[in-house]
Chain A
Amino acid sequence: MPAQTFDPRRLVGIHAERVTDVSSRDFPGHHPGEDHSWNLAKFKKNLIVKVQRLSRTSVDFDIVGVDASIANAFRRIMIAEVPTVCIEQVYVWDNTSVIVDEILAHRIGLVPLNIDPSLFTMKSDINDTATDRDTAVFKIDVTCERNPKAPKGSIKPEELYINHELLSSHIIWEPVGEQVDIFAARPPAPTNPNIVLAKLRPGQSVNMELHAVKGVGKDHAKFSPVATASYRLLPYIKITKPIPPQHTEKFQRCFSPGVIKIDPRTKEVSVDEEKVRNDSVSREVLRHPEFAGSVELSRVRDYFLFNVESESAYAPERILIESVKVMREKLNNIKAAALALREKSIAGDGDVMMEEA
């Protein structure tokens, strides 16, 4: 792989005690004689979106060539505005466990469910009558009893008692209306059956009805579809002076493992282009006088390395797609309102009603 180089304007400088050139300046009029006006064709040509790594719960992907404001918009939407389905209302018929109703209700609300949010509509008002299109009903009915077959002398709760824990697997779905058909392929349940919600002892019981609705993370964090959704900028390390052979290993240790390669024969150091993304950019190398002036650290301002962990019904690779969908919906809503405002200003006497600020 040939050494990757970047236009110096794309780099954010990282020095021992300061960072430089943090903000983007690619606006019309900033650089005299250069055209920085918006150009969709040029944007599309420079845009790179590449999935790097995928597992059942997380995805790593790069977005190259967008402004930080766009990358940040996607990140913010993934956390706060991509909808999921969670338990919102808890009707307690009986709760004699040591956890009080409110705390137990809160814990139950936090349990991630496997319901695909696209199969549900969002309730406009939580107090509206529930329908099978917007509410899933679950029941909990668990009583702890002594286990008559417990081995003599045992002190283990799991042997002594039946139902010694209230688990997320005790949340049982009750289909209503056409839900039987809609959810036939994947019956609603918690994504993880082993979450302990309360400890129980003989005689204690929990009997509840739970209503799950669609919501967004900005209303309550339980609705957030991600565990983390974050991005970093790609590190860029430029070795400007050869490192003397007696210092190469020390130089290598200044960076994250694998980032710096040493040629076994010539003892020449170089940056591993594949692994440079793993560097923590710790600035350790800048502390040592023997390396002064021999390396420049920076990050690429428009090279975003995303990491998204799904903690919901969404497959991890679907979360960016959903966030783009939400973003476009928002833009189209605002655009419709702006067009209506323009209509009003043309239809009237050319003047738009102004609110006092």
Chain B
Amino acid sequence: MAETVEKIKLLKSSPDLSTATFQIHDESHTIGNSLRWMIMKNPEVEFCGYSAPHPSENVINIRIQMYDGKSSLDALIVALGELDKVCEAVEDKYIASLQEGKFEQWEERT
């Protein structure tokens, strides 16, 4: 590793960031698709799409366009925070279900 690469780069965008393409380094469909979904849940977002441009490039591009000149970067930050809360909720309920212990335990032959 010669140099450290930026995690997020800004590609084509308008000066007020109401439309922008963000290039996220070292991420894949895992983050791309779930982030796109969460950004699209925001009513201030006019459009959101993502792509993994090429298998040999370790990046994804996320395009966000906002209504009313709002900042797409703000929408991205909000969505990241909300996705984290989704993960937390899933984890909490999973652990609760495990501790409740109401599931079948069986002997699997290996």
List A residues at the B interface (Cβ < 8 Å): 27-29, 36-38, 40, 43-44, 47-58, 61, 63, 66-67, 69-70, 72-74, 76-77, 80-81, 124-125, 317, 320-321, 324, 327-328, 330-339, 341-342, 345, 350-355, 357
Contacts and interface: CB of A to CB of B under 8 A. Distances in A.
Nearest to A337: B7
Contacts of A61: 94, 97
Contacts of B96: 49
B13 A352 contact: yes
A36 B7 contact: no
A341 B34 contact: no
A338 B43 contact: no
A125 B80 CA distance: 29
B75 to A, nearest CB: 10
B3 interface: no
A328 B81 CA distance: 10
A330 B31 contact: yes
B85 A40 contact: yes
Residue of A44, A61, A336 with most partner-chain B CB within 10 A:
A44
Nearest to A192: B110
B38 A73 contact: no
B89 A43 contact: yes
Given A334-B7, A337-B7, A338-B77, A73 B98 contact: no
Given A353-B10, A354-B11, A52 B104 contact: yes
Interface string B55-87: 000000000000000000110110011111111
B91 A337 contact: no
Contact of B94 (A77, A81, A320): A320
Given A81-B30, A352-B17, A342 B93 contact: no
30 contacts: A37-B43, A38-B42, A40-B85, A49-B97, A52-B104, A53-B106, A54-B105, A55-B106, A56-B110, A57-B110, A69-B37, A70-B37, A72-B30, A72-B34, A73-B31, A73-B34, A74-B90, A76-B28, A324-B87, A330-B31, A331-B80, A335-B77, A336-B7, A337-B8, A337-B24, A338-B73, A341-B8, A354-B11, A357-B11, A357-B21
A337 B31 CA distance: 15
Contact of A28 (B8, B43, B86, B110): B43
A332 B92 CA distance: 18
A27 B90 contact: no
Interface in B25-51: 27-31, 33-34, 36-38, 40-43
Contacts of A351: 15
Contacts of B27: 330, 334
A351 B73 CA distance: 13
Nearest to B7: A337
Contacts of A330: 27, 30-31
Contacts, number: 164
Nearest to A351: B15
Interface of B: 1, 6-13, 15, 17, 21-24, 27-31, 33-34, 36-38, 40-43, 73-74, 76-77, 80-91, 93-98, 103-108, 110
A337 B37 CA distance: 20
A324 B43 CA distance: 27
Contact of A63 (B22, B85, B90): B90
Contacts of B11: 354-355, 357
B10 A352 contact: yes
A34 to B, nearest CB: 11
A36 B90 contact: no
Contacts of B24: 334, 337
A333 B29 CA distance: 16
A103 B107 CA distance: 35
A47 B90 contact: yes
Contact of B81 (A36, A327, A335): A335
A81 to B, nearest CB: 7
Nearest to B106: A55
A48 B96 CA distance: 11
B84 A49 contact: no
Contacts of B106: 53-55
A56 B107 CA distance: 7
A56 B108 contact: yes
Contacts of A77: 30
